[in-house]
Amino acid sequence: MEILAFVSFAVLVVAWLVAPSRGNVIVVSRTSEDRKAA
């Protein structure tokens, strides 16, 4: 069972390495300067 515990943690670590490093970014707020410029 100890082996399964190590393996399951290792699977998580590998998943973090292959997971997307950045998702789609959506701008949800702007500064007052941004609004003036617009």
Partner 1 sequence: MPNTISAGDTAWLLASAALVMLMTPALGFFYGGLVRRKNVLATIMHSFFILCLISVQWVLWGYTLAFGPDHGGIIGGLDWLALKGVGQDPGPYAPTVPHEAYMVFQMMFAVITPALITGAFAERKRFKAFVVFTLLWATFVYDPVAHWVWGGGWLGQLGALDFAGGTVVHITSGVSALVAALVLGRRVGFGREAMDPHDATMTVLGASLLWFGWFGFNAGSAITAGGLAANAFVVTNTAAAMAALTWMTVSWLHKGAPSVLGAAAGAVAGLVAITPASGYVDVSASILIGLGAGIFCYVAIQVTKRFKVDDALDVFGVHGVGGAWGALATGIFATVAINSGAKDGLLYGNPGQLGIQAIAVAASITYSAVMTFVILKLIDVFVGLRVPESEEVLGLDASQHREAAYQI
In angstroms, the Cα distances linking 13 to 2, 6, 18 are 17, 11, 9
Is residue 29 close enough to count as binding partner 1 by CB under 8 A? no
Q: Does 27 bind partner 1 (CB under 8 A)?
A: no
Which of 15, 26, 27, 28 lies at the binding interface for partner 1 (CB under 8 A)?
15
- Work out how close the CB of 37 gets to partner 1 at its nearest, in angstroms, rounded to a whole number: 28
Q: Specify the 3-state DSSP secondary structure of 18.
A: helix
C-alpha span between 17 and 26 (Å, rounded): 24
Q: Give the binding site for partner 1 (CB under 8 A).
A: 1-2, 4-5, 8-9, 12, 15-16, 19-20, 23-24
